């Protein structure tokens, strides 16, 4: 429907008509109803999906009321009307307590390069000697501050664009972030979960830029890949690491509740971000990355396998 109507999106990191765009119209897959929170500010103007009208979230009387409300053009007041029609009773309510005890499903997204916008500057492949042959440690979730070179300069590729993004795309599996994005990550993630290492950027014309950038070294990892449901190929050299995913399925119960960003232990090059943090980053108009739908991650290799 979004594609047919040519509906656009203000989120620069979201392609119009894509699955990520469609998710903006789903009230976060009904999670707001499960945890009793209000929709984020713009969701009040969107359509409420059919999937939300479920006996998982509402009793029979509430369902009848919801089905009689026109949500196709919703100004956000309809949710308030439902609350007023069913005020909270004094004291504990058995059904409400049972609802609160249900585990809330949280979505996670791979943090990948935005390769759709050709105007973005990309990092050139760094030379091993610049990192004293230890650059691989930046992708293993271990602290690197003690040995990391002070004043390290990364070159920007002459084969790409010149526009600086908040997350500089690269083929080295590094999160190279602006001061703005660094501030968001520091503010919204647990203390000491990310190590920030200062770097400078240099243009193809050899001009060192003044804008500060940082490698966001996400520390630690979480082993939560569902090996039975995932489709992958193991690395022939690093035996405990996945080289390539054709499909990735997570066991979300294994992810600690306070974790908003983490490395996948089975492939520490891969960074995953929780939906609420990803939404904050998108709402702050940060650029250079895409938080890819997990179902789509590795799909390019699925197509290649079929051909």
Is residue 48, in this structure, part of any structural domain at all?
Answer: yes
Question: pLDDT at position 16, please?
Answer: 74
If pLDDT is split at 50, 70 and 90, which confidence band does 239 have?
very high
Tell me: do 65 and 125 sit in the same domain.
no
If asked whether residues 293 and 212 sit together in one domain, one would say: no
Range of the domain at 167: 117-218
Residues 247 and 177 reside in one and the same domain: no
**Do residue 214 and residue 229 come from a single domain?**
no
Residues 252 and 194 in one domain: no
Which distant-in-sequence residues (6+ apart) come within 8 Å of 10 by Cβ? none
Q: For 84-135, write each residue's pLDDT tens digit.
A: 444 455 455 555 554 454 555 789 999 999 999 999 999 998 666 678 789 9
> Do both 10 and 59 map to the same domain?
yes
Looking at the structure of the chain, the number of domains it has is 3
In a domain, 112, yes or no: no
Instruction: State mean pLDDT over 284-296.
Output: 97
Q: What is the average per-residue pLDDT within 30-59?
A: 48
- Pair 247, 261 in one domain: yes
**3-state SS, one letter per residue, for 88-109:** CCCCCCHHHHHHHHCCCCCCEE
Task: Determine, yes or no, domain membership for 108.
Answer: no
61-93: per-residue pLDDT in tens? 666 666 565 544 444 444 444 444 444 554 555
Average pLDDT, the chain: 80
Question: Tokens standing for 145?
Answer: 């501050």
Residue range 212-234, pLDDT digits in tens: 999 999 999 999 999 999 999 99
Chosen domain end from 218, 240, 263: 218
Give per-residue pLDDT as tens, 150-179: 999 999 999 999 999 999 999 999 999 999
pLDDT at 249 over 60: yes
- Residues 157, 138: Cα–Cα separation, whole Å: 20
Whole-model pTM above 0.85? Answer: no
Positive or negative, the CA dihedral 225, 227, 228, 229 is positive
């Amino acid at each position: 429907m979004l594609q047919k109507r040519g509906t656009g999106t203000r989120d620069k990191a979201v392609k119009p008509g894509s699955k990520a765009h469609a998710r903006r119209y789903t009230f976060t897959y009904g999670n707001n109803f499960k945890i009793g929170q209000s929709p984020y500010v713009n969701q009040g103007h969107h359509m409420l999906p059919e999937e939300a009208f479920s006996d998982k979230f509402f009793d029979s009387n509430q369902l009848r009321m919801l089905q009689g409300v026109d949500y196709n053009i919703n100004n956000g007041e309809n949710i308030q009307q439902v609350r007023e029609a069913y005020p909270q009773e004094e004291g504990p309510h058995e059904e409400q307590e049972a609802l609160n005890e249900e585990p809330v499903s949280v979505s996670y997204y791979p943090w990948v390069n935005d390769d759709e916008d050709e105007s973005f500057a990309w990092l050139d492949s760094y030379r091993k000697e610049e990192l004293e042959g230890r650059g691989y440690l930046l992708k293993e979730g271990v602290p690197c501050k003690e040995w990391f070179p002070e004043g390290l300069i990364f070159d920007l590729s002459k084969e790409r664009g010149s526009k600086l993004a908040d997350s500089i795309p690269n083929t080295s599996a590094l999160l190279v972030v602006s001061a703005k994005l660094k501030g968001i990550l520091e503010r919204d993630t647990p203390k000491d979960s990310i190590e920030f290492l200062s770097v400078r950027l240099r243009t193809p014309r050899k001009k060192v830029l003044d804008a500060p950038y940082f490698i966001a070294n996400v520390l630690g990892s979480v082993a939560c890949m569902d090996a039975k449901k995932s489709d992958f190929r193991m690395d022939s050299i690093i035996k405990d690491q996945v080289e390539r995913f054709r499909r990735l399925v997570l066991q979300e119960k294994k992810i600690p509740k306070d974790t908003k960003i983490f490395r996948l232990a089975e492939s520490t090059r891969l960074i995953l971000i929780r939906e609420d943090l990803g939404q904050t980053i998108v709402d702050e108009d940060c650029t250079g990355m895409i938080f890819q739908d997990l179902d789509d991650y590795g799909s390019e290799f699925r197509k290649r396998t079929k051909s």
